[in-house]
Structure 1
Amino acid sequence: MSVDITPDQEWWSAEQIAEARFPGLPGTARGVNIFAMREGWRGAPGAIMRKPGRGGGLFYHWSVLPFNARLKLIERDAERKAEHPEECLDRGRAWAEYESTSQKAKDAAAERLDALNKVELLHLSGATHVVAVEVIAKEKDVSARTVYNWLAMVEGVADADRLAYLAPRPPKKRVKKEDRAQYLPFMDWLQSAFLRLEQPTFAQSYRAATREAKRQGWDYPILKTAKRWVDAEVPRTTQVFKRQGMNGLMRCFPAQTRDRSSLSALEAVNADCHKIDVFVKWPDGTINRPQIVVFQDLYSNKFLSWRVDHDPNKVMVMAAFGEMVDKWGIPKRCLFDNGHEFANKWMTAGTPTRFRFKVRETDPVGVLPLLGIKMHWATPAHGQAKPIERGFRDIASDVAKDPRFAGAYVGNRPEAKPENYGSRAIPLEEFLEILEEGFEEHNARLGRRSDTANGRSFDETFAESYANATRPRATEEQRNLWLMGQDTKKLHKQNGSLTFHKNIYHCAWMSQEANKNVVVRFDPEDLHSGVHIYAPTGEYMGFAECQQKIGFFSHEDARATAKKKRAIVKAEKKLAELHAPVSPEQLAEDLRQTRAQTKVTPLVEAKVVSPVFANRVSASNFRDHNSPAAEAAQDALIFEMSTAKQRRKPKPASTEKFAVAKDPDARFHQALEIQERQRAGEVVGEREASWLDGYQTHPEFEARIELHKSFGGNDAG
């Protein structure tokens, strides 16, 4: 049922807005309400009004509609004015229409207003109204009838609003109203095909939609018309979000600008990893692009410390952090991303906002919480949230393209490889020297245009603020927190020794702390130098020396070995999949189909029967042997066990005499006596040996042998 729409109404319901099909607005009431919530219509002063009567609901004022929707509303009012010239625009719509006109139309409105002001001035000076109109018309080079038409346009309008009413309106184009209802199935299919993350072209989506339309018998417009309809009805931001995802949508809005002038040097730092675009040859012969981790001061943008390794890892992060604290002091805040190398337990365990790795109650507190440093996590995969990314751009363009790296530079994109790609690799020592030189030049370069630098270098900006700031220095005990890795272990329950990476650590004081959970802090590059041991709550307990040097000399070597093993397992899994291409589910389905197609002759007998056993008294509880029924059942079970083995392996008949004792105590001592004879090498009969083999697996013997071991000869109790 169509909703009645009043062209000049001020208040609109969601149903009326949807029915009006305004450009940039959804075509359903639910979509309009969602759009209103997202755009904050309800927060605008005087923008909403409650519906009277039962059911309630909201009316939206026309002024909150998007600009294109308001233009559409103005066009409809112009059509209505052509049919009803006696009606007049209200001042709000008149000014909105004036703002939408061209500058040429605005200049014309100013000329008209000037003419009317001069007519009034002549009339007030004593001239008749007719004479005043004729004089001004001649001055403006228009007819008197035109001036009278201008006067009619502002009749009853306040002087302050005359300019808006005098603006010439362009003639309304007479176009045939399009009936899009017949194209709705096609347009829905086309929009769904076009608004996908695979980002197909509109022409490609249109071709696919026309093929579907021919199959379904739908009507469809030409390509240009369909594209015009999609652009008019689907907002640009919605198209970007559907085709480029959240990252694309965020690029439609300006990045947040943060003021750093309120900070001071070393008050806050941020860090990140960057793979530099240069091939480096390592001492072991490996050639790859190394990873660098850098700590940067947020106030000045100065690079404070850095480390290089094959891949991002917690060891290099901890080393760079330790160098920064050693050289400059302890910062108040750290801004990291949520990568494994930064969110590792050595650094950040115990931070409430950390969302990496499994959290355990036995985890030791990380270095940053112990030093009182507040953690902040940047938005993942969002470079604008990490200021250091701007510094890495300088490194990528200046340091990586250094002339001394010629032939080793690989390009910053796969399609930007230079012609001499891969012709050489820079030795690690030379690479580190050039990289350090590049960092020094980056910090000392003048003319920086940040708010805090104001034309100075990062070094000068940092030095000025650092001279007036008070940053605590780390004590020798605090240095142990970042110069070493950490792990949780448990001391030996008897001697208090610590086994860690196949090394054994012990000092005399550890014998008093046996069987306790501890936190081990160690030098990842030298496990044989000893370890520092802390309580789980952070108290220092003491130093432990390495007693047996049988493990890896470097924790990094252990990490690299584990990485190689994981790579082997991964490759083996892929190889196994190639040799077994059919999944177990497919195998089961094939067997079910084969079974269904095979004619099976039903058997007369049932496949499953319910066994019926004689009621027996359980003899598994050795404490309940005063019952004659229990003893009889036990003797029968022992006899079955001894004869079952004989049935499995037939042996020659024996004439030896052997009787099993009836009393449980005597039976147990009988078994012990046979065991002693076997150990002494004496002759043991086949029946005795067979009975002993079966009796040794019986719960009675197992229970009594445990009592015998615990209490000696007094086992009958």
Structure 2
Amino acid sequence: MSVTPQKEWWSAADLAASGLPDIPTTKRGLTKMIDRQNWVAQPGLARRRSGRGGGFEYHWSLLPQRAQQHLLLVATSDQTEKAEAEQMSAAEAWTYYDKLADKAKAKATSRLKAIQLVEALERGGLTKDQAVRNASKQLHCGVRSIWNWFDMIAGIAPSDRLPYLADRHKLAKRPSRAAEIDPTFGEMIKADYLRLGEPDFAACYDRIVRHCEANGIPVASKSATRRWLDRTVSKVTQVLARKGVDAAKAMFPPQERDKTAMHALEAVNADFHTFDVFVRFPGANGEPDTIQRPHMVAIQDIYSARVLAWRIDTTSNGHAVQLAFGDLFREYGIPYHVLLDNGREFANKALTGGAPTRFRFKVKEDDIPGLLTALDVVLHWATPYHGQAKPIERAFRDMCGRIAKHPAFHGAYTGNSPTAKPEDYGSRAVPLEEFLAVLADEIQAHNTRTGRRSEVAMGRSFADVFDESYATAPIRKATKEQERLWLMGVEGLTVNRRTGTVKFQGNTFWAPFLHEHLGKKIAARFDYNDFFDGLHIYALNGEYLGHAECREKVGFFDADEARIHARARKDWLNAEKAALKAHKTLTNAELAKGLSTSLPPEPAAKLEAKVVKMVPNTAKKFRTVAAEQSTPEIDKKRDEIVADLASHRATKPKSRRIEEVDNRELYRRALELERKLEAGDDITSEQKRWLHSYQDTSDYRSMQLMVKNFGEAYLAK
């Protein structure tokens, strides 16, 4: 039996005031909807309204579907399966349908085919009853079932029939069979299980059960408690509580960035990697060789993922980073963006000095601009201890097995953790030259390996992707002046106030232009591999001043070096004299003559004072007093003073000898302080100031030359 609403015909005013779903609440809005859907033209569904006011009344079947369903719901109290279906909107029905299993969806699809077959037979000339019986025979289903399916889709648009033909038994609320958990028992389970250290659930359950049974608290079974815990506490919350923040972060999907809009060398990222291989590093300056794991700083192009530059060192330090960037700039060019982490090897003043976004150290106004800052490279700082933030970590993971476990390093592999040491741990150390050769080959193979599956590689190698983009990309090349920026150093040094020399690492550097910067702080850059080639001197604001050569120390009686030094000093002095002569266009005599002619003329008559004051004559008085005071006692005292002065003059050569002894004692004291500093011992700030001031004196230099030629035995004389 079909159900119809109690009120079938509605005026526009009644519909606007009805509050039915999908019906405009204003008469104007409702009129627009009626005109848009052309209700008046529907035969048998629109009629003239009788009574005052006139107008039209509309059949309830013209209303939107949700409004019709609401009217049907109000008209009947039968909570049948059909009523439940009619309560659902099309969106809700499709949402419910998506949650069904494939078997339930296939059943609804077969019902829809039966409905469509009946409608097709009707269009062929059969009555609906004949069509239903014919479809029942063809599809081997009951006639009554087909009629029920038609009731389920009554008033439903043909495009929305499928979800309404699905079974509705899952909409019924079933009583929960989950065990009731006592709140006190549940809170104790959470407190014990949800903590760092990852305690076993069975152990936590047994502990809490013993406590609850002793105190009369109801408990549940272990399996029911576990299901309750998983149902009330999400998996992410459990990982956060038991494994920590980093483990929870790893569960969040990483951000995927689009590289297709970039080009080669637009952005690079760099990081350090420590290889799990023992390498023998040769000692310097006669020191013994050292065996340790090598540290590699690598720079990778973000667009192509190609490793462009790398350096090996014994530690992770800023010098290796600066050299690697120098190789990158010299070989390929200057990138526009650089992605780094905030480790001290990257966030240091030599590399990123002056950048306001550095996480380490204070940014001062007189900071020397770092290498990347001076080249106008935009710096980006990655999240610390977050490997997903740096693409180069993926390359390092690839290198771990291909390089550290290379057959050439058999016996030198250390394992990737203290608990994963191989049986032959420590049996061999690879020479540095052999390690560098294998490393270069493997990095080349890493760059040229085909079959890469990134969005820009598409089966090609990293090198092919880089080379293709590099040929057409706008590349910034470094000039000769900029090449000096990646030299080592960037030290704040002070020019000597008297000689204009610069002392650095125990060596003296000098150039004539330094006399224009006496006592000022400067920046110095130098070639790490050719330190004695000299220093490139910069002002603190980055202005290049010139090149200062290293003044090598020579033997005391080296006549050739003495002549070279004298000739250089003579040439320098002649150049300064010529510069002075160019500035002084007047000689001293010409200047004096010119000044004498500008003096005012002498007065014609000698001036005489108009007022004269008498000066009393006291000389006689003084002579009289001195004569009166002359006594034998005074004469004796005067003779003693004269004798004492004579004795001091007689011992003056002896005081010079004492001064020489004091100079030796001062030099011995300075020598002890210098040896403490070389050994790495600490001295006080007062001792440092005294030592620096004494080293600038001529006494120190003369004693240093004497000790160099006659040995430290000279100090004992």
TM over 0.5: yes
Report whether the alignment pairs 1:209 with 2:215. no
Report whether the alignment pairs 1:274 with 2:273. yes
Aligned partners of 2:199, 2:465: CA distance in 1, in Å? 49
Deviation at 1:165, TM superposition (A): 1.7
Matches within 5 A, 1:224-263: 224-263=223-262
Determine the structure 1 residue equivalent to 2:676.
Answer: none
Deviation at 1:519, TM superposition (A): 2.1
Determine the structure 1 residue equivalent to 2:349.
Answer: 345
Change (3 A) 1:184 1:82: farther
CA contact (8 A) 1:293 1:316 kept: yes
Change (3 A) 1:134 1:458: closer
Aligned partners of 2:78, 2:235: CA distance in 1, in Å? 32
Report whether the alignment pairs 1:397 with 2:401. yes
Change (3 A) 1:96 1:299: closer
Report whether the alignment pairs 1:373 with 2:377. yes
Q: Give the residue type in structure 2 aligned to 1:89.
A: Q
Decide which structure has the larger Cα Rg and report it: 2
Determine the structure 1 residue equivalent to 2:116.
Answer: 117
Determine the structure 2 residue equivalent to 1:568.
Answer: none
SS in 2 for 1:255: coil
Change (3 A) 1:472 1:106: closer
Q: Deviations over 1:591-626 (max 9, x none)?
A: xxxxxxxxxxxxxxxxxxxxxxxxxxxxxxxxxxxx
Matches within 5 A, 1:497-516: 497-516=501-520
Deviation at 1:132, TM superposition (A): 4.2
Aligned partners of 2:476, 2:115: CA distance in 1, in Å? 76
Determine the structure 2 residue equivalent to 1:419.
Answer: 423
Change (3 A) 1:506 1:215: farther
Deviation at 1:348, TM superposition (A): 0.6
SS in 1 for 2:107: helix
Deviation at 1:379, TM superposition (A): 2.3
Change (3 A) 1:333 1:124: closer
CA contact (8 A) 2:316 2:345 kept: yes
CA contact (8 A) 1:363 1:536 kept: yes
Determine the structure 2 residue equivalent to 1:463.
Answer: 467
Determine the structure 1 residue equivalent to 2:311.
Answer: 307
Aligned partners of 1:320, 1:450: CA distance in 2, in Å? 26
Determine the structure 2 residue equivalent to 1:607.
Answer: none
Report whether the alignment pairs 1:105 with 2:116. no
CA contact (8 A) 1:528 1:549 kept: no
Change (3 A) 1:85 1:151: closer
Q: Give the residue type in structure 2 aligned to 1:159.
A: P
Change (3 A) 1:215 1:314: farther
SS in 1 for 2:325: helix
Matches within 5 A, 1:140-289: 140-170=139-169, 175=175, 180=180, 183-214=182-213, 217-283=216-282, 284-289=288-293
Deviation at 1:94, TM superposition (A): 2.3
Deviation at 1:447, TM superposition (A): 3.3
Aligned partners of 1:203, 1:275: CA distance in 2, in Å? 41
Q: Give the residue type in structure 1 aligned to 2:433.
A: E
CA contact (8 A) 2:179 2:220 kept: no
Change (3 A) 1:453 1:223: same
Deviation at 1:121, TM superposition (A): 4.5
Q: Give the residue type in structure 2 aligned to 1:213.
A: C
Which of 333, 355, 362 pairs up with 1:329?
333
Deviation at 1:495, TM superposition (A): 4.9
SS in 2 for 1:468: coil
Q: Give the residue type in structure 1 aligned to 2:88.
A: D
Change (3 A) 1:467 1:155: closer
Deviation at 1:478, TM superposition (A): 1.8
Query: Which 10-residue stretch deviates more, 161-170 or 541-550?
Result: 541-550
SS in 1 for 2:310: strand
Change (3 A) 1:157 1:537: same
SS in 1 for 2:311: strand
SS in 1 for 2:182: helix
Change (3 A) 1:214 1:348: farther
Q: Give the residue type in structure 1 aligned to 2:331.
A: K
Which of 513, 533, 536 pairs up with 1:532?
536
Change (3 A) 1:141 1:268: same
Aligned partners of 1:123, 1:144: CA distance in 2, in Å? 15
CA contact (8 A) 2:81 2:168 kept: no
CA contact (8 A) 2:281 2:431 kept: yes
Q: Give the residue type in structure 2 aligned to 1:350.
A: G
Aligned partners of 1:498, 1:391: CA distance in 2, in Å? 44
Report whether the alignment pairs 1:360 with 2:358. no
CA contact (8 A) 1:523 1:529 kept: yes
SS in 2 for 1:393: helix
Matches within 5 A, 1:573-612: none
Q: Give the residue type in structure 1 aligned to 2:440.
A: E
Report whether the alignment pairs 1:430 with 2:437. no
CA contact (8 A) 2:356 2:363 kept: no
Aligned partners of 1:83, 1:177: CA distance in 2, in Å? 25
Change (3 A) 1:518 1:220: farther
Q: Give the residue type in structure 2 aligned to 1:337.
A: D
Deviation at 1:549, TM superposition (A): 7.0
Structure 2: give runs of 5+ residues left out of the alignment. 1-21, 23-76, 283-287, 555-640, 649-717
SS in 2 for 1:364: coil
Q: Give the residue type in structure 1 aligned to 2:441.
A: E
Aligned length: 476
SS in 2 for 1:331: coil
CA contact (8 A) 1:363 1:488 kept: no
CA contact (8 A) 1:362 1:488 kept: no
Aligned partners of 1:359, 1:198: CA distance in 2, in Å? 41
Deviation at 1:97, TM superposition (A): 1.8
Deviation at 1:230, TM superposition (A): 2.1
Change (3 A) 1:502 1:99: same
Determine the structure 2 residue equivalent to 1:439.
Answer: 443
Q: Deviations over 1:524-548 (max 9, x none)?
A: 5665543332211111223334458
Q: Give the residue type in structure 2 aligned to 1:357.
A: F
Determine the structure 2 residue equivalent to 1:89.
Answer: 87
CA contact (8 A) 1:519 1:534 kept: yes
Determine the structure 2 residue equivalent to 1:521.
Answer: 525
Change (3 A) 1:348 1:140: same
Structure 1: give runs of 5+ residues left out of the alignment. 1-45, 47-79, 551-672, 681-717
Change (3 A) 1:497 1:162: same
Aligned partners of 1:382, 1:511: CA distance in 2, in Å? 51
Deviation at 1:123, TM superposition (A): 5.2
Aligned partners of 2:120, 2:450: CA distance in 1, in Å? 64
Determine the structure 1 residue equivalent to 2:70.
Answer: none
Q: Deviations over 1:487-522 (max 9, x none)?
A: 223444555544444444444433432332322324
Change (3 A) 1:100 1:485: same
Determine the structure 2 residue equivalent to 1:541.
Answer: 545
Query: Which 10-residue stretch deviates more, 337-346 or 201-210?
Result: 201-210
Deviation at 1:461, TM superposition (A): 2.8
Determine the structure 2 residue equivalent to 1:586.
Answer: none
Deviation at 1:107, TM superposition (A): 1.1
Aligned partners of 1:473, 1:546: CA distance in 2, in Å? 30
Aligned partners of 2:459, 2:81: CA distance in 1, in Å? 65
Aligned partners of 1:304, 1:126: CA distance in 2, in Å? 79
TM-score normalised per structure 2 = 0.60
Determine the structure 2 residue equivalent to 1:683.
Answer: none
Determine the structure 2 residue equivalent to 1:594.
Answer: none
Aligned partners of 2:80, 2:259: CA distance in 1, in Å? 61
| Superposition CA RMSD, Å | 3.4
TM-score normalised per structure 1 = 0.60
CA contact (8 A) 2:354 2:364 kept: no
Aligned partners of 1:285, 1:500: CA distance in 2, in Å? 27
Report whether the alignment pairs 1:481 with 2:485. yes
Determine the structure 1 residue equivalent to 2:297.
Answer: 293
Aligned partners of 2:147, 2:404: CA distance in 1, in Å? 75
